[in-house]
Amino acid sequence: MPDQTTLPPPVIRDLVVGAPVETCFRVFVDRFDTWWPEEHHLGDRTIVSFQIEPRVGGRCYDVDTDGGECHWGTVLAFEPPDRLLFAWHIQADWTVDHDPDRQSEVEVTFTAVDADRTAVRLAHRRLDRHGGTADLHAGIDGPGGWTLLVGRFADVCEGRPPRPLAGV
């Protein structure tokens, strides 16, 4: 295990969304597939749905046209409308490993700024658990990673269609 001085930094995205805190939480969890791009999945499959089961122990998963499911995350904390924490099982080689020692964590917090605005913080940490973290970190920290994803999330919260993927 690397010592604390060699751990990759967490990927953090902070934004203020023009929607109430309850709306933001519901869109992130209950309407996940309205903002998560269908192109962001594992394998050569056509995805029809992305889901987060709203409970501790719930799965984060996608469903393809044949009914196949890919369980790529597990809810670790579910505190509506303030906080969601889930394990990220996707490895640096874009495979899934459910071993708790090989999962990173994504924590999303929702804090009311006022009645119509919410501060949202997404922190993807413990990337060291995946091994080969440079490529994984670059992918989730890059323009097609969490920056794009939280932007699409904010679009849906604010009543707009989610922004397109670059080059699509």
Q: What is the pLDDT of residues 71-85, one digit of tens each?
A: 999 999 999 999 999
**CATH class, 9-157 region:** alpha beta
Burial class (CB in 10 A: 0-12, 13-18, 19+), 121: middle
Q: What is the pLDDT of residues 3-12, one digit of tens each?
A: 555 778 899 9
Burial class (CB in 10 A: 0-12, 13-18, 19+), 119: middle
How many Å apart are CA 97 and CA 109, to the nearest integer? 25
Closest CA to 13 of 119, 132, 128, 86: 119
Q: What is the pLDDT of residues 101-160, one digit of tens each?
A: 999 999 999 999 999 999 999 999 999 898 766 777 888 898 889 999 999 999 999 999
Question: Domain residue spans in the chain?
Answer: 9-157
What pLDDT shows up at residue 113?
Answer: 98
Q: pTM to 2 decimals?
A: 0.91
Look at 91 and 18; give whichever has higher pLDDT. Answer: 18
